[in-house]
Structure 1
Amino acid sequence: MNHPDVLAPAKLGPITLRNRVIKSATFEGLTPNALVTDDLIEFHRRPAAGGVGMSTVAYCAVAPEGRTEYGQLWMRPDVVPGLRRLTDAIHAEGAAASAQLGHAGPVANAKSNGLPALAPSMSFNPLSMKITKAATLDDIRRITAAHGSAAKLAVEGGFDAVEIHFGHNYFASSFLSPKLNRRKDSYGGSLENRARIVLETARAVRDAVGGKVAILAKLNMDDGVPGGFRVDEAIQVAQWLEADGSLDALELTMGSSLLNPMYLFKGDAPIREFAAVMPQPIKLGVQLVGKKFIREYPYTPLFMLEQARQIRAAVAMPLVLLGGVTDRDGMDTAMAEGFEFVAMARALLREPDLVNKIAADPGTRSLCDHNNRCMPTIFTGARCVLVDPDPVR
């Protein structure tokens, strides 16, 4: 073997993981009161017991208006005792715990939150059927600082790492997008200006926690939207982040939760299932024009590798490969291509113990068939419907 063993221990910033497999952030839908629940703890305990090196809790909003819906966790002192119970459960199974920190920006549900959604420029949100508000400079400063405060709370809650969300056209990612960012000030226009909030946020987190925990960021390579953020710009942003030294690793992603969510997932487009869980009038809209919004892309193993290679060639910092990593062959390919870690999501919903199975038998193949019917379950508790079709919670 002329590349790292994916199942051997590995350093990530100041911590050591038992292996190089990370459970990627998957919104759990298990915090109805924006607090940790026993169901959330069990959701992360299972893949920890199943062999992952680290499990990522999603999504920990840094401000109340930054939630995608009202029941989502947001970081405040009241949440720390529950976070400590959660991280203790993950640690008891031998895995590390990471908290994904971010602000949903234009993806936030203003109707559910009772607070205005914020974006770089005023726009219409098709998810909440409301107008998003253009963030002021005070909003930007407040949200940037809130990431640092949230990181401190994550440390109090026992997390070993934090992951800053710079993807999917959430707040910071929407500033990167030329399509969504029409500002004329120092946060709009040139790539240097559009990336300013990303660099300032990463620096705020590093300044807040120093080297106490590992700091990762999830960065879009491609929004999958005409006129959006593309890989050539992502390369430059990754280089700026590396030069700043605020991060220990980048997890590479793609797609827009606001404009093209299936670009991230690939595989079947569960339009009927999405319509079934939506309130009116959104339900009717999904039924009528869902195929234009929830587009279908063919699934292939390691479907982000082609673009991720371009980032790998441009930076030396550790990178996490996400997207279609489901077996030992894919993991070994990622290692041979120079990626330090791999991330898994849907496959672990299907089989939380998949990593242990692969360790016992390298020929193990995932049972996940990429039907994506897990996606609409985030509203009732994220799960594989083939395993748990109708849970009683």
Structure 2
Amino acid sequence: MPMASKLGNSAFTPMRLGPLTLKNRFIKAATFEGRMPRGEVTNDLIDFHTEVAEGGAAMTTVAYCAISPGGRVHRDTIVLDRRRAAALRRLTDAVHARDTLVCAQIGHAGLVANTRSNRVRTLAPSTRFSAPAMGLVRGATTAQLDEVIDDFGVAARNAVEAGFDAVELHLGHGYLLSSFFSPNLNKRKDRFGGDTVRRAELARRVIERVRAETGDTVAVTAKFNMDDGVRGGFWLTDSLPTARLLESDGYLDALELTGGSSLLNPMYYFRGEVPMAEFIASQPAAVGLGLRLIGRRLFREYPFEEAFFLPLARQFREALSMPLILLGGVNTMATVSAALADGFEFVAMARALLRDPALVNEFRSGSAREGLCVHCTKCMATIFGGTRCVLRDESPSQTVGHATHV
């Protein structure tokens, strides 16, 4: 059998992820769904994930579940407390009924939190101005960080109660734990700041607590920044040693490799043309005016390339023995085959499944070798009213046979 054919077949063979067995190598990456007004679980949110499940992915990821009110990105973010856990049971049951597993991404937004929307203060490693917070964010005290660790444990326990099969810790994109890794955001002089090892201390303590709370029946993974895409930020010289520390601790079942900063350089992990006109149209007039004036400076533009994180991710595959999940511009069966050939256990897809949630089934049947996503990034501006592919909205036939899509 030709090598390409063997690799294509292996994409649809089961693979272990900690205590779980995934039916294939495809994971729906966390993509903020924009379907939880005031942080409530809605039918639209459930439909979003059951559609992905029906489309063939082995596991879908609910994003983003905050560990506390202050850890929300904004007021329309789920806080994974006991009440929401009970409501999320409807979602996990619906996904399981489609023979698919489901993961809860949990985290604290830190400097990325919109404090005016949340009406609660947020936290940072060190005091600094944050544009999303619209003001100065104070460096956290050690007592506050102890509370963060406790809150992660509670959220993880609630995820188990809600029926999730896996918990993904958000260690990327400038969120709180990611910001502690960063030498240009973390200027602390205590045990949580300084060299690479001390800057990893908070994340390591969080991961240990989460594993203690979830036990050995739930997979624990982490979305982990390889590169902040920011001068003086977290880069391979720090991220590779940090990943080795996380592997040596033995609490994680896999790393999903990412990069970029929602605080300072968000297009680094999207890649493609900045949908500035759509962003402006989706915002209140005052915010829209601000984007007209300085938007191009806030959103740097990077050309799209298939599997754009693969060169960085190969450094981690060489350095680590633990399972790795490749993320970033996966849109073709050839990319999936190349990732498996390079030793990655899974691939995570986001925009490709927004465009066509049934793509995994189409890959399996051979009816498609490439997704329909054209990498226009216009989906980015839809998160305020229900994350979706704007091209798919113009193609009613795409929704036939699937759950309701908004």
Provide TM-score, normalisation by structure 2. 0.94
Match of 1:367 in 2: 372
Match of 2:307 in 1: 302
Q: Distance in 1 between matches of 2:285 and 2:226?
A: 34
Mapping 1:212-291, distance limit 5 Å: 212-291=217-296
Q: Is the 8 A contact 1:127 1:282 kept in 2?
A: no
Alignment partner of 2:148: what SS?
A: helix
Of 68, 72, 82, the residue aligned with 2:73 is: 68
Question: After the TM superposition, which parts of structure 1 deviate over 6 Å for at least 4 consecutive aligned residues?
Answer: 389-393
Of 148, 167, 170, the residue aligned with 1:165 is: 170
Match of 1:46 in 2: 51
Alignment partner of 1:281: what SS?
A: helix
Of 185, 192, 195, the residue aligned with 1:187 is: 192
Q: Is the 8 A contact 1:328 1:362 kept in 2?
A: no
Of 95, 99, 124, the residue aligned with 1:90 is: 95
Match of 1:6 in 2: 11
Q: Distance in 1 between matches of 2:98 and 2:186?
A: 43
User: Which whole-Å deviations, capped at 9, do the CAs of 1:27-84 have from their partners, x for residues lacking one?
Assistant: 0111112121100000101111000000000001001100010110011111122211
Mapping 1:112-131, distance limit 5 Å: 112-131=117-136
Return closer, same or farther for 1:362/1:328 CA change in 2, 3 Å cut-off: farther
Match of 2:181 in 1: 176
The answer to whether the aligner puts 1:24 opposite 2:29 as a matched pair is: yes
User: Which whole-Å deviations, capped at 9, do the CAs of 1:122-174 have from their partners, x for residues lacking one?
Assistant: 11111242211211111111111111111111111010000000000000000
Alignment partner of 1:118: what SS?
A: coil
Q: Distance in 2 between matches of 1:68 and 1:389?
A: 30
1:311 Cα deviation after fit: 0.7
Match of 1:15 in 2: 20
Q: Is the 8 A contact 1:248 1:318 kept in 2?
A: yes
The answer to whether the aligner puts 1:384 opposite 2:402 as a matched pair is: no
Alignment partner of 1:379: what SS?
A: coil
Q: Distance in 1 between matches of 2:35 and 2:368?
A: 33
Give structure 2 stretches of 5+ with no counterpart. 396-403
Alignment partner of 1:347: what SS?
A: helix
Of 336, 342, 347, the residue aligned with 2:341 is: 336
User: Which whole-Å deviations, capped at 9, do the CAs of 1:328-354 have from their partners, x for residues lacking one?
Assistant: 110010000010000000010000000
Q: Is the 8 A contact 2:359 2:368 kept in 1?
A: no
Q: Distance in 2 between matches of 1:236 and 1:279?
A: 43
Q: Distance in 2 between matches of 1:44 and 1:232?
A: 37
User: Which whole-Å deviations, capped at 9, do the CAs of 1:355-374 have from their partners, x for residues lacking one?
Assistant: 00111116521110111010
Q: Is the 8 A contact 1:60 1:101 kept in 2?
A: yes
Alignment partner of 1:217: what SS?
A: strand
1:278 Cα deviation after fit: 2.1
* 315-324 vs 130-139, greater mean Cα deviation: 130-139
* 216-225 vs 134-143, greater mean Cα deviation: 134-143
* 120-129 vs 224-233, greater mean Cα deviation: 120-129
1:180 Cα deviation after fit: 0.9
Q: Distance in 1 between matches of 2:12 and 2:291?
A: 42
Alignment partner of 1:262: what SS?
A: helix
Q: Distance in 2 between matches of 1:240 and 1:348?
A: 33
Give structure 1 stretches of 5+ with no counterpart. none
The answer to whether the aligner puts 1:325 opposite 2:330 as a matched pair is: yes
1:183 Cα deviation after fit: 1.2
1:279 Cα deviation after fit: 2.6
Q: How many residues align?
A: 393
Q: Distance in 2 between matches of 1:81 and 1:174?
A: 31
